Amino acid sequence: MQCLACNHEAAVADFGDPLCCPQCGILYEMAMLKKFNLLKAELEQVKRQEQQLREDSERTKAVTEVDLQSMSLQDMKAFYDPPAAVASGFNTRFLTLLGFMTRLAFASIPALLVLWVAALLLKRFLGLGWLS
């Protein structure tokens, strides 16, 4: 048998007729009552914490509902829509930018050729165009 107060283990016969721990001397019934009261206090504390959390949740929900009901449509859009992205700067090396602009210039040559051919075809078949 094990004592509930000090966790001493001994045979049941060692505890005696009114069960009493041979090491700490506490009566088994008193130790059970003490442990029961301790567990009861812990349970009540957990219940109080649970109730507090529930009340806080309901209070937050009520405040949110009131706030949303009092908001105008424009305020609600601002509340739910994320803000637009804003560029705050542009930082690049000169040679990287020069390389990009060079590639852009070479990539525009085929596009200009296609536009030039389209203008020639418009002038030739429809008599339209800016070329003379």
pLDDT tens sequence across 50-89 = 998 888 877 776 655 556 566 666 666 666 666 677 777 8
73 domain residue, yes or no: no
100, pLDDT greater than 90: yes
CB 8 within 8 A of CB 15: no
- Determine, yes or no, domain membership for 85: no
108 within some domain: yes
The count of structural domains within the chain is 1
24: in domain: no
For residue 39, is it within any domain? no
Cβ atoms < 10 Å from Cβ of 21: 23
pLDDT of 48 over the 80 cut? yes
Residue 105 confidence class, pLDDT cut points 50, 70, 90: very high
Domain hosting residue 106, numbered range:
91-132
Enter the pTM of the model.
0.38
* Token representation of residue 93: 């090396």
Q: Give the Cα separation of 1 and 10 in Å (integer).
A: 5
Lowest pLDDT segment from 22-26, 64-68, 91-95, 121-125: 64-68
- Domain membership of residue 57 (yes or no) is no
Residue 15 placed within a domain: no
The percentage of the chain sitting over the pLDDT mark of 90, rounded to a whole number, equals 27
| Per-residue pLDDT at 104 | 94
Note whether residue 49 is domain-resident.
Answer: no
